[in-house]
Structure 1
């Protein structure tokens, strides 16, 4: 899995994930998220457009990060999830815990409200 970050506004980071997120590749995600959590008020959109697979280890990285982000007054949302990932998030109940948007631009626009 490849993880890259772009800043679309001074206060919103977009984390682009590509490939497969599993126990083997989750270290890369955790490292990238740790860097983003250093921001004073983390506001993160996770772009899932090119993520093909995610297992429970990957999901746990998002859950742990969200707890820190929420405590700092920030937020983490998902965008561009394929049907498999949407179903996975719904099945494990995370669609109630994370905002899920069809496109990155939708998530960024919602942040401006």
Structure 2
């Protein structure tokens, strides 16, 4: 898995994920999120466009990060999930826990509300 971060507006970071997120690569996700979680009010959009697979370890990393972010008054949302990831998030019920948007720009705009 590869993770890159871009800044949108002064207060929103977009975490772009590519490849497969599993037990072997979850540490890369944790490392990428670590710096973003240090922000006073983290606002993060996870761009799932290039993510082809995610297992339970990856999902739990997102859940734990969201709990930290919410405690600080921030938010974490998903954007551009492929059909596999959309089905996965619905099957495990995380579509009720995370805001999921069709495009990154939609997620950024919704965060302004």
TM-score bin, normalised by smaller chain: over 0.9
TM-score (norm 2): 0.99
Q: Post-superposition shift, 1:14?
A: 0.1
Which residue of structure 1 aligns with residue 51 of structure 2? Answer: 51
Q: CA RMSD in A?
A: 0.4
Unaligned runs of 5+ in 1: none
Which residue of structure 2 aligns with residue 74 of structure 1? Answer: 74
Cα deviation per residue 1:19-69 (whole Å; 9 max; x = unaligned)?
Answer: 000000000000111111000000000000000000000000000000000
TM-score (norm 1): 0.99
- In the alignment, the residues of structure 2 paired with residue 53 and residue 22 of structure 1 have an alpha-carbon distance, to the nearest angstrom, of 8
- In the alignment, the residues of structure 2 paired with residue 83 and residue 92 of structure 1 have an alpha-carbon distance, to the nearest angstrom, of 14
- In the alignment, the residues of structure 1 paired with residue 92 and residue 10 of structure 2 have an alpha-carbon distance, to the nearest angstrom, of 33
Unaligned runs of 5+ in 2: none
